[in-house]
Structure 1
């Protein structure tokens, strides 16, 4: 590692998310400093021992932590579904909205009609909003194209959006998000299209493959066939599972070595045990639970079994139009029963593990140079609890990605 280029010091509280580097499960260091070189963390420790650097930022009274990892979004889309909330509040259920051409089908139509340039610009604007809250890594799924050319277009747009926004982006192929209207009477043909036509085009632009297995979407057998086809092309496995009904999808995906199973409101003991054996991460999505007025996943059972818990926004245009990881972290604590430490690990290091990137979401010497500095809400001490108690208190005051401060 070369010469130190940047030092951030006088942090009242630094949460490294590595217990070997500080106090407690969050690896806390008081009056801390972090030094960067070559895009990576060169050193961290007490401010009194901080090395010299051409650029030094002194930020007393603040909280430092790794760049947040947003591990579940659908951030590439066009069109608006603001009216859908009004219809649901008026008592209309989602099935009726879908049958009238609304819901995800309206998003698919608008997204298909939009150019890759437009989609990249829209997604980049969303990523900038996430970045302002301290996010430096974002997972983005396709799933609003549902044709070979359109799914590949979404994945390319996602990667371009990351470049435009200065955010690290990992991409997930989700051609099996729903069966498009054109294939409702021949769903087997659509599954074949996903495997034989969509996946080969999408794989060069994707890191993962995902399937939505649930009532009205895809079956466990269909999902397994698609996931295995993605694995054969070198993609990591993820799954939307057990959200609306218990299907056994989480256990199936765990059997394939899935990195994560997401939603899980209706997972059972067998699914939990399978995830624990496989080391599959549970990605909890409080925003979707709130918007759909659903029940929480069985967090106590997941915790007892040793299943790691990540937390994400599920940013999408209909059922979780949420841009703020701090809000969902607070919701995870209040509505799902996670501890403060669990939610902070869930939006950093465990979220990184859910993406197969365990180096992300941690501040360690030699690790990625991603740091976010937060000022606590007025009158609050600089502590982990202050970040969760008042989640919308402020934007990040400093975001460093790859060793460079972002505007």
Structure 2
């Protein structure tokens, strides 16, 4: 077997291949190679290791790429975004600065309801073009796979429209898009006095989304004044019957018991978790639910961060994502999230790399394909413009990514898109 591409002279190669834990709270248990190489045939890795690459992998057609002693990690998996929407909400910024709670903004017809109106009015082309440009910027920051939730339609037509745009983006943009149906993101204005009827509409949407094969996951905003525990349990159980994998926005604002529900239903992930209880943490561990943490949201809202160190120490599998959305976190920069995780949550560099690679892949059930650099896996990786892993977290506020490879092909070269 001959390689199409060999990347050699890698100073530090963080493969994110999981090693045996030294303790329950060990989240630095990923492989780090020095003076390494990666050999790729077509889309997949065929050889990886330290030292010089095996000469038998090379022939006259093999492309050689000198990493110049720099740091390489797997491509970043941004496993929680609200990518497809229209409009923006900078008009709410003064309210947030003054401390007006989000739920109060929502009651005034702002917040998500404002985005819903804009998204309903937007064409597929408008939604596609806006999201495509966002993906371009995410790619420059090292993201190679993106989870994208619907939830700004809150009716059959627009929820389907959002998910169809996801499907089109997945075909036409180099980044991979994983779709999540989030019809239970809020109660739309037309059902504000009849939530039960809207829940019936959500169940109809579930069936149509599954019929059209437009999403792998179903998510729900389980929160005070949105969907309570019983409503969330009902909707997620109906989604499970339809064959969806489950996610849940849990305990973001109020400690409602969303993490406990995630454990009960054995959802793939529970997202946000700033107000998680100790019992909720125990349920995540017991039921192997991924805690998807969104620190840029806490930063932007001036709220407390999720108790990540407590979660890690108890053995929770933690992922980190941007939560890119038009309201609480209009952040496309995963490296900014990584900086916050280091400076504010006190996660170590290896913990952060693990959280944004293999654990991000686990949060979308793609860990057998992406998230770590191993033989047989997809060749998604980043070359950072540094020779020291710690420097990425030390020198904050800049883009450290130099080159990005997706499925063995370079898509960002010297910080510029090449597709």
- Aligned counterpart in structure 1 of residue 408 of structure 2, from 376, 396, 403: 403
Aligned counterparts, 1:284-363, within 5 A = 284-359=293-368, 360-363=370-373
Q: Structure 1 residues 24-33 or 341-350, which shifts more? A: 24-33
Do structure 1's residue 3 and structure 2's residue 2 form an aligned pair? yes
For residues 274-325 of structure 1, what are the alpha-carbon distances to aligned partners after superposition, in whole Å with 9 as ceiling and x for unaligned?
A: 1111100101100110111111222233122211111110000111111111
Deviations 1:165-189 (A, max 9, x none): 2111111000000001111100011
Q: Unaligned 5+ residue runs, structure 1?
A: 377-381
Matched, 1:152 2:196: no
Displacement after TM superposition at 1:251 (Å): 1.2
Partner of 1:199: 206
Structure 2 spans left out of the alignment, 5+ residues: 21-27, 412-417
Distance 1:388 1:56 in 2: 29
The total of aligned residue pairs comes to: 398
Q: Which residue in 1 is equivalent to 2:95?
A: 87
Matched, 1:131 2:136: no
Instruction: Tell me the secondary structure at the aligned position of residue 136 of structure 2.
Output: helix
TM-score for the superposition, normalised by structure 1: 0.94
Q: Partner residue of 2:283?
A: 274
The Cα shift of 1:47 comes to: 4.5
Report the alpha carbon displacement of residue 250 of structure 1 after superposing the two structures with TM: 1.3
Match of 1:176 in 2: 184
2:84 paired residue number: 76
Which of 32, 35, 42 is the equivalent residue of 1:38?
42
Tell me by how many angstroms 1:333 deviates: 2.0
> Which of 357, 365, 373 is the matching residue for 2:383?
373
Aligned-pair CA distance for 1:159: 2.1
Matches of 1:171 and 1:62 in 2, distance apart?
A: 33
In structure 2, distance between residues paired with 1:198 and 1:271: 30
Residue 229 (1) aligns with residue 235 (2)? no
Deviations 1:213-242 (CA, angstroms, capped at 9, x unpaired): 011210111111111111111111110000
Q: Does 1:64 align with 2:72?
A: yes
- CA deviation profile, 1:334-376 (whole Å, cap 9, x unmatched): 2222222211100001111111111321000111111111112
Tell me by how many angstroms 1:102 deviates: 2.0
1:258 match: 267
* 2:222 alignment partner, SS class: coil
Matching residue of 1:389: 394
SS at match of 1:179: coil
Distance 1:396 1:266 in 2: 33
Cα distance change of structure 1 residues 93 and 298 upon mapping to structure 2, 3 Å threshold: closer
Aligned-residue offset at 1:202? 1.7
- Report deviation, 1:95: 4.0
TM (norm. structure 2) is 0.91
Partner of 1:379: none
User: Distance in 2 between the 1:187 and 1:19 partners?
Assistant: 44
Higher mean C-alpha displacement, 78-87 vs 32-41: 78-87
